[in-house]
Chain A
Amino acid sequence: EAGVTQFPSHSVIEKGQTVTLRCDPISGHDNLYWYRRVMGKEIKFLLHFVKESKQDESGMPNNRFLAERTGGTYSTLKVQPAELEDSGVYFCASSPTRDRIYYGYTFGSGTRLTVV
């Protein structure tokens, strides 16, 4: 089966610009997650979708970040306007609803965002 696909793989933007990251989960996975790793630190949770609904968005850093999941399929994460501290690697993951612990999450390769 195809894995979790993220694009772009790299993005360099100027402070104040807008960037949209996209994630295509594994087909049939109702759960979709966004995580972020900033400057070699720990990978931190941003939010969790179940189908098209936001289950938990407690990790979103501020209102410059907007995540959507259209029709319960792919998801986008928009940063507007971008700030320097938003630089990092953004990971997307998906999982089935049943037996999530047993199967774990499937992660994408990440989008490396650099804000200059």
Chain B
Amino acid sequence: GNSVTQMEGPVTLSEEAFLTINCTYTATGYPSLFWYVQYPGEGLQLLLKATKADDKGSNKGFEATYRKETTSFHLEKGSVQVSDSAVYFCALSDWAGNQFYFGTGTSLTVIP
């Protein structure tokens, strides 16, 4: 079946620190991979995505590379800001996009 295992939080970093949030997956077929972010008081927003192996998704300084050999999609950012404080969810979908499978979410707090 399909599942996502995500690094547990909470994570607290100082501003300008390097961020990595680990995500590994189990899937049948050829899933697409996503990172969603939920800022305080808001809904889930698509942060980035990758639809096939070796694709790199990027947005707002965040990056993640679809690694089929290690079944991973780790989220990275070189220098976090206070405004990046949020909950981050790794997710996968089947090829048709009929259903998403989410990880448990990682809460990130960035302190000045």
A residues engaging B (CB < 8 A)? 3-4, 6, 33, 35, 37, 40-45, 48, 55-56, 59, 91, 93, 95, 100-102, 104-105, 107-110
B50 to chain A, nearest CB (A): 10
For the complex, what is the distance from the CA of A33 to the CA of B91, rounded to whole Å? Answer: 15
A104 contacts which chain B residues (CB < 8 A)?
34, 46, 49
Q: A40-B104, A41-B104 are in contact. Are A56 and B99 (CB under 8 A)?
A: yes
User: How many B residues have CB within 8 A of the partner chain?
Assistant: 26
Question: Does B51 reach chain A (CB closer than 8 Å)?
Answer: yes
A108 contacts which chain B residues (CB < 8 A)?
43
B66 to chain A, nearest CB (A): 13
Question: Does B44 reach chain A (CB closer than 8 Å)?
Answer: yes
A37 contacts which chain B residues (CB < 8 A)?
105
Q: Decide: A48 and B98 in contact? CB cutoff 8 A.
A: yes
A104 to chain B, nearest CB (A): 4
Q: Decide: B99 and A48 in contact? CB cutoff 8 A.
A: yes
B residues engaging A (CB < 8 A)? 4, 32, 34, 36, 41-46, 49, 51, 89, 91, 93, 95-105
A109 contacts which chain B residues (CB < 8 A)?
41-43
A62 to chain B, nearest CB (A): 19
17 extra A-B contacts, CB within 8 A, seeds A45-B101, A107-B36, A107-B43: A6-B43, A33-B99, A33-B100, A42-B102, A42-B103, A42-B104, A43-B89, A43-B91, A44-B102, A45-B100, A93-B44, A100-B97, A102-B51, A104-B34, A104-B46, A105-B97, A109-B41
